[in-house]
């Protein structure tokens, strides 16, 4: 089967208000942003006969606004726009770096941050960065607006907490109160371009006098049904020094934070080992 | 639905299903068969065209999303009698064999060079990372792009 254009109904709202109204009237419609996920499904014939709510005319949702507190990234901002945004590069480098690793240039020129989040793939590459920056996803529907912490958006593999008729309008990413002593983003895949992560991680570390860990936020993707903050690891590290013993304890704690699986791209064992290596490299200052 | 857009510098109107893919509109309605379909899932880049100057996969774009935008296909790069420096370099360096990937490679490379992209090996390979080639082994393609980067720029036709 292939996509059958004749079978599709397409709505093209010109404003967010119209989009919300149309979505309330047609809750089965599929929102369409850059189409880099949706059109792959459509081309295979799986979405024939559906209604589509094309968001691409909503210029308001394409903007990236910078305030004193952080960045307000419109749901329709593309990975290309984020990876090349001068302020995001400086203040939210892990997110800019993550977006730069998505697909290849053709995908990044179309694929949006809102679509990445709404698609909720376990391998969504922007999620670990959004998790360590503690981003909020802002939604709108006929019922009103909601602001969800990024980790509460994901309900499972390809499932979100979005309600029928609800759209992501933007993603707010707060700037860090203090610059971290160390930070890292790493994506591990089988090649540089166009690769779905076997493991993807982001981390921030604040150190005080004498190397005491004042704070740390680490998150991994592709190693559980949804992106994971490494709470047990973070707890192990807090208030201590980064001695070899603490680091090994933290690496051991990793197995209670993530639950990788065997699939076509990799194995549970490989993902566990590579995650532990990424964590160790970060904590020992080699990443 | 009526779609108004620009194709290779000319105003165009498409009347038909808004969810027809851009690649199919270009090939079937406008007879621009330079744009090829490989995978139909965003992986191979054979269907690459420029949308407002940026490379995109035309197999992933329903025509409604081209409304009001500017599309360039490989046909706009040059004609056999007057090839662009990039096209010449592909011929001279053996950057094209079966030719299926070539239109996409040319457009992705042209966009990279036009945007002031660097001509070192890694930068070119990154810019072409979304374009698969089953014939050349890539080496000759990278060389061709490097050669074109050094060629003096010809003054381009003014666009309408
Ligand atoms: C070849 C290829 C390579 C890829 N590589 C990567 C990669 O390396 N890393 C990665 O993370 N992803 C990758 N992807 C997946 C995809 O490109 C990204 O997830 C992208 O960010 C999706 O955004 P989009 O705007 O194209 O989404 P769309 O396809 O338009 O939409 C995706 C889903 O989200 C919904 N949706 C979109 N916008 C909204 C909104 N504002 N509110 C509510 N729901 C919405 C849609 O209904 C749909 O279900 C790749 C895809 C392809 C085809
Ligand atoms: S045909 Fe569009 S990317 Fe392969
Ligand atoms: S020349 Fe045949 S695929 Fe590239």
Task: Check if B57 contacts A (Cβ < 8 Å).
Answer: yes
Q: Is the CB of B43 under 6 A from ligand 2?
A: yes
CB–CB of B19 and A10 under 8 A?
A: yes
Task: Check if A14 contacts B (Cβ < 8 Å).
Answer: no
Whether B54 has a pLDDT exceeding 80, the answer reads yes
- Alpha-carbon span A37 to B41, nearest angstrom: 9
- Closest residue by CA, ligand 1 atom 31: A115
Query: For residue A110, which residues of chain B lie inside 8 Å, CB to CB?
Result: 56-57, 60-61
- Alpha-carbon span A59 to A85, nearest angstrom: 17
Predicted ipTM? 0.95
Sheet containing strand B70-72, edge to edge, reads B10-15, B2-7, B70-72, B48-51, B54-57
CB–CB of B127 and A105 under 8 A?
A: yes
| Average pLDDT rounded to a whole number, residues B91-101 | 97
- Alpha-carbon span A150 to A32, nearest angstrom: 21
Could you say which residues from 71 to 100 on chain B have a Cβ atom under 8 Å away from some Cβ of chain A?
none
Whether B30 has a pLDDT exceeding 80, the answer reads yes
pLDDT score, position A195: 87
- Alpha-carbon span B64 to B70, nearest angstrom: 13
CB–CB of B21 and A194 under 8 A?
A: no
Q: Is the CB of A102 under 6 A from ligand 1?
A: yes
From the candidates A43, A56, A105, which should be mutated to test the interface with B, based on the most B CB atoms within 10 A?
A105
Residue A120 Cα to chain centre, angstroms: 8
Q: Is the CB of B47 under 6 A from ligand 2?
A: yes
Å from CA of B130 to ligand 2 middle: 9
CB–CB of B65 and A104 under 8 A?
A: no
- Closest residue by CA, ligand 3 atom 2: B98
Query: For residue B24, which residues of chain A lie inside 8 Å, CB to CB?
Result: 5
Task: Check if B35 contacts A (Cβ < 8 Å).
Answer: no
Query: For residue A5, which residues of chain B lie inside 8 Å, CB to CB?
Result: 16-21, 24, 62
- Alpha-carbon span A104 to B125, nearest angstrom: 11
| Average pLDDT rounded to a whole number, residues B12-37 | 98
DSSP string computed for chain B: -EEEEEETTEEEEEES-TTSBHHHIIIIIS--TTS--SSSSSSS-TTEEEETTEEEEGGG-BGGGGTT-EEE-GGGT-BTTB--HHHHHHHHHT--SS-SSHHHHHHHHHHHHHTT---SHHHHHHHTTT---SSS-SHHHHHHHHHHHHSPPPPPPPP-
From the candidates B4, B42, B47, which should be mutated to test the interface with A, based on the most A CB atoms within 10 A?
B42
Q: Is the CB of A166 under 6 A from ligand 1?
A: no
What are the boundaries of each domain within chain B? 2-76, 85-150
Could you say which residues from 155 to 194 on chain A have a Cβ atom under 8 Å away from some Cβ of chain B?
192-194
Specify the 3-state DSSP secondary structure of A165. coil
- Alpha-carbon span A103 to A82, nearest angstrom: 14
Cα end-to-end span (Å), chain B: 25
- Return the ligand number nearest the Cα of A168: 1
Q: Is the CB of A81 under 6 A from ligand 1?
A: no
User: Chain A residue with minimal CA distance to B44?
Assistant: A194
Å from CA of A151 to ligand 1 middle: 18
pLDDT score, position B160: 47
Architecture per CATH, domain B2-76, reads as: Roll (3.10)
User: What is the atom index within ligand 1 of the atom nearest the CA of A127?
Assistant: 11
Angle between helices A244-257 and A268-283 (to 10 degrees): 140
Query: For residue B22, which residues of chain A lie inside 8 Å, CB to CB?
Result: none
Name the average pLDDT for chain B: 95
* Range scoring the smallest mean pLDDT among A64-78, A253-267, B1-15, B20-34: A253-267
* Residue B156 neighbours by CB under 8 Å, 6+ apart: none
* Range scoring the smallest mean pLDDT among A59-68, B103-112, B150-159: B150-159
Written out in words, the top-level CATH class of the domain with range B85-150 is mainly alpha
Which positions of chain A have pLDDT values less than 70?
1
Interchain CB contacts (distance < 8 Å): A and B? 95
Largest pairwise CA distance in chain A = 67
- A111, A34 Cβ separation under 8 angstroms: yes
pLDDT score, position B152: 76
pLDDT score, position A190: 85
């Amino acid at each position: 089967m292939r996509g059958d254009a004749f079978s599709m109904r397409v709505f093209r709202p010109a404003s967010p208000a119209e989009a919300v109204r149309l979505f309330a009237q047609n809750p089965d419609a599929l929102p369409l942003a850059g189409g880099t996920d949706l059109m792959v499904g459509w081309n295979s014939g799986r979405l024939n006969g559906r209604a589509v709510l094309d968001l691409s005319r909503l210029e308001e949702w394409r903007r990236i606004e910078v305030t004193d507190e952080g960045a307000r990234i419109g749901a329709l901002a593309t990975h290309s726009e984020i990876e090349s945004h001068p302020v995001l590069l400086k203040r939210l480098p892990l997110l800019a770096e993550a977006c730069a690793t998505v697909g290849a240039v053709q995908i990044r020129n179309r694929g949006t941050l809102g679509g990445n989040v709404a698609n909720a793939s376990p391998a969504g590459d922007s999620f670990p960065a959004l998790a360590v920056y503690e981003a909020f996803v802002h939604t709108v529907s006929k019922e009103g607006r909601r602001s969800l912490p990024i980790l509460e958006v994901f309900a499972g593999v390809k499932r979100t907490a979005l309600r029928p008729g609800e759209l992501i309008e933007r993603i707010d990413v707060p700037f860090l109160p203090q610059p971290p002593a160390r930070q890292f983003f790493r994506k591990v895949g089988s090649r540089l371009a166009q690769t779905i992560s076997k493991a993807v991680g982001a981390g921030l570390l604040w150190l005080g006098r004498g190397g005491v860990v004042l704070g740390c936020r680490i998150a991994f993707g592709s190693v559980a049904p949804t992106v994971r903050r490494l709470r047990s690891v973070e707890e192990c590290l807090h208030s201590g020094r980064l001695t070899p013993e603490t680091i090994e304890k933290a690496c051991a704690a990793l197995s209670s934070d993530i639950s990788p699986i065997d699939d076509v791209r990799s194995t549970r064992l490989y993902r566990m080992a590579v995650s532990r290596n990424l964590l160790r490299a970060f904590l020992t200052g080699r990443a | 639905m009526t779609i108004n857009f620009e194709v290779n510098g000319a105003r165009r109107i498409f009347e038909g299903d808004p969810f027809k893919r851009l690649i199919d509109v270009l090939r079937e309605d406008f007879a621009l068969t330079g744009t090829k379909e490989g995978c139909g899932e965003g992986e191979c880049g054979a269907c690459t065209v420029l949308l407002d100057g940026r490379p995109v996969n035309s197999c992933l774009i329903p025509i409604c999303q081209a409304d009001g935008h500017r599309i360039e296909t490989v046909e706009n790069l040059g004609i056999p009698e007057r090839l662009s420096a990039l096209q010449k370099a592909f011929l001279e360096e053996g950057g094209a064999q079966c030719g299926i990937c070539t239109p996409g490679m040319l457009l992705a490379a042209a966009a990279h060079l036009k945007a002031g992209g660097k001509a070192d090996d890694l930068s070119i390979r990154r810019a072409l990372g979304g374009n698969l080639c089953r014939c050349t082994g890539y080496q000759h393609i990278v060389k061709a792009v490097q050669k074109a980067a050094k060629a003096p720029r010809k003054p381009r036709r003014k666009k309408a």
